[in-house]
Chain A
């Protein structure tokens, strides 16, 4: 498995897959995709990177502990739900704004924020399980 070709390609593959996972996350509202699937793709990407270059490389690349990423995801998902407090609507009501940036109308929403939270929770939790299992003796 640890061939030179695989090791050389893995970082590029991982980068592409993470990019793809973000694409899947963002398009999820209208096309197949979404936070959950995107998160799973990102985890696979990290798993490939881990198999090729070792888990230490993955940990360095992630910078934060995967569990912290997961917790942050849950946090922003809650925030996305709580935003409705300021508009006197029930918890988790979707809120939308469509600012025009550089002449392009970009719809932003609390729903998207929530989906990003889902993405991060999935990435963090499953990566941390995979890394812990992969790790020989150090966590």
Chain B
């Protein structure tokens, strides 16, 4: 078993190792590096395929390594029907994407970097869906956000891609913070840090007073990642990325992470009124918004991107609908969507790559030039449109069977699903038919069939969709039934097959197809209508995002200007006011003032003399004609205090105080000469008074504080310990020094590190000023 565990760990690390090698391999082999690099996800795919037998039998495979046992933090994975499906999708589609990227970015000067990014993303995504530990989930979740930032911004010379990358990072990364807070709350409520253990805490979580808070936070994470309305805007913008990224991250994998999270939590948090209201409501809304926006587009990739938004909405709606059929439908649709949408995105990229445009109104008649692409597009679109015997048909039948019902809720969601599906049907065929049928149109590049690297991916994905549709029994046993079981938390059996059965589901399917065909035929009119609708609304979350960002920047600028005005005077005043408050407020609030000290009856003359001298030093500071004299006079007081230390038996302290006083006079004097201040303080008295008040408050605060400390009962345990052991254990008679270098040596190590870093900081500050003056 340990061997398997080692291999599984290796499978998680392999993509990252590949990311390290990819740039070198690409320099060596050019775009053909795709072939060896594709072996990495393929090996991962084969490894996880080995778990299939176990998982199909309903077992859950867990494994991992303890990381911080004291906090119960581990690197551990959980492989059940849900994670296994995702793992296979990620590694399987990942294999095809690496090949596709090899052809798509052939000759690009940063192709090696691209391979590296996409493999890094793959590793993060694999880790995300297999995480058993909360912390690991969060880390990988954020890693997918970061790698997707790199991928969207791959073409970093263009402003649009930089903006899209930043937007995706802010939205999904911000959502990640919600997720973290939610996971911490879950940890707090259940005291477990692993999903495999969390599963038995469903009733506790649902009954917890924090349930709504956890739900809200988790949805914040899931909805941003899975582009649910109103956070859907980043996904179409992310189409700025090269097409392999769109096909991989923004259809098949990353955007499903939010859906994954909801499915993972469904057994624990589902089946409550809040869950079954919020999820379907937002999901349904996203479905409608996404499909209407998709109709409006003319760019192939944007059309697909908005249907992805719609599909994600459909998945969220099904996950939260609250019936076993809905869960089965979600499971089917999840897999079907990854296959057909991945394929269609790659087709869109292929068309773009070979013709130089992806505007659907400027394309036509490509069926002769690109027959293989046409075939792949057609098969994928048939699945997306939900026609038998394709996989999409199974999913759609199951969706309608799950949703259809007599009550108002069922009717509302059924009609949302019918409208959404019909519009997606129209878009699917607009993508798959419009560019290929009709008369040949002149395109920026002379169109011809792309190389094998480019069409192998879409063809394989499309054919898989068909094969699953035909051999549905086998697919259900191996994949969809365990998947549905994992989502619902109880054993489920999916039975739907590609043979149409008369029933409400079939009638709804026919209705969908009918509406879809009608919209397809009148696509230009529909596009105009959708356009007008959006223009009438005028404002969208995308613009809202910009406004929010501008507001944030303006707010930050204001805060920075307020707190960092750059005036030394204000910094000093603020610092000392805080010191005075910190010393004076707590005793005032808690009534802990010191008792008035008793004047000692037999004070020796020399002690009194030193104290008088100190007072004279202060007087000299106040009387001094110029600043330099004042600084030196301040030294008098310091030396007197050092004398007092010496008189009261603290030679080490006195010694240090002497040196500190000397050096601070020297350094202050040097600093003063550099500040180019006037030699004297010319301010009128009324401007000096506030400073005097603050100074006196600070001094008084320290005096009272020290008095109070010395009046408290002194615990001598430490003194006794050090006195007893200093000589015997640490071989030193000077207790102070022994404490510094031996008993508390690690503290000292930290302190001298601080001294050095401070020195460096001051040095660089001095140099910065010098540079500015030069």
Contact = CB atoms under 8 A, between A and B. Distances in A.
Contacts of B659: 37, 40-41, 43-44
A13 interface: no
Contacts of B753: 74
B158 interface: no
Contacts of B767: 132, 139
Given A44-B663, A122-B755, A77 B749 contact: yes
Interface in B711-748: 730-734, 736-738, 740-742, 745-746, 748
Contacts of A129: 667, 759, 762-763, 766
- Which of B670, B738, B752, B758 has the most chain A CB within a 10 Å cutoff? B752
A107 B655 contact: no
Nearest to A65: B763
A73 B741 CA distance: 14
B663 A32 contact: no
Nearest to B672: A133
Interface stretch (A2-10, A56-64, A91-99): A91-99
A36 B762 contact: no
A92 B739 CA distance: 12
B184 interface: no
A67 B763 contact: yes
Contacts of B734: 28-34
B746 A92 contact: yes
B670 A32 contact: no
Give the size range of B's interface with the partner. 35 or more
Contacts of A91: 746
Given A29-B738, A40-B663, A122-B755, A114 B733 contact: no
A111 B766 contact: no
Contacts of B666: 44, 47, 130
A114 to B, nearest CB: 5
Interface in A111-129: 111, 114-115, 117-118, 121-122, 124-126, 128-129
A48 to B, nearest CB: 9
A109 B745 CA distance: 13
B651 interface: yes
A32 B741 contact: no
A19 interface: no
- Most chain A C-beta atoms within 10 Å of own C-beta, residue among B655, B741, B745, B763: B741
A20 B745 CA distance: 24
A93 B774 CA distance: 50
A36 B763 contact: no
Contacts of A133: 667, 670-671, 674, 766
A91 B736 CA distance: 20
B667 A130 contact: yes
B663 A92 contact: no
Interface string B595-621: 000000000000000000000000000
B303 to A, nearest CB: 60
A23 to B, nearest CB: 13
Nearest to A31: B734
B656 interface: yes
Interface in A60-81: 67, 70-71, 73-74, 77-78, 81
B731 A34 contact: no
A137 interface: yes
Contacts of A121: 752, 755-756
B652 interface: yes
Nearest to B760: A67
A129 to B, nearest CB: 5
A41 B661 CA distance: 11
Given A41-B659, A44-B659, A47-B663, A77 B752 contact: yes
Contacts of A111: 730, 732, 741-742, 745
A92 B651 CA distance: 26
A25 to B, nearest CB: 10
B770 interface: yes
B357 interface: no
Contacts of B742: 92, 94, 111
A37 B438 CA distance: 91
Contact of A81 (B732, B736, B738, B746): B746
B652 A33 contact: yes
B763 A128 contact: yes
Nearest to B748: A118
Contacts of B758: 125
Nearest to B745: A92
7 contacts: A29-B734, A29-B741, A67-B760, A81-B745, A107-B731, A114-B741, A132-B767
Given A30-B734, A81-B745, A92-B749, 5 more contacts: A40-B663, A41-B659, A73-B756, A115-B737, A133-B671
Interface of A: 24, 28-37, 40-41, 43-44, 47, 67, 70-71, 73-74, 77-78, 81, 91-92, 94, 96, 107, 109, 111, 114-115, 117-118, 121-122, 124-126, 128-130, 132-134, 137, 139
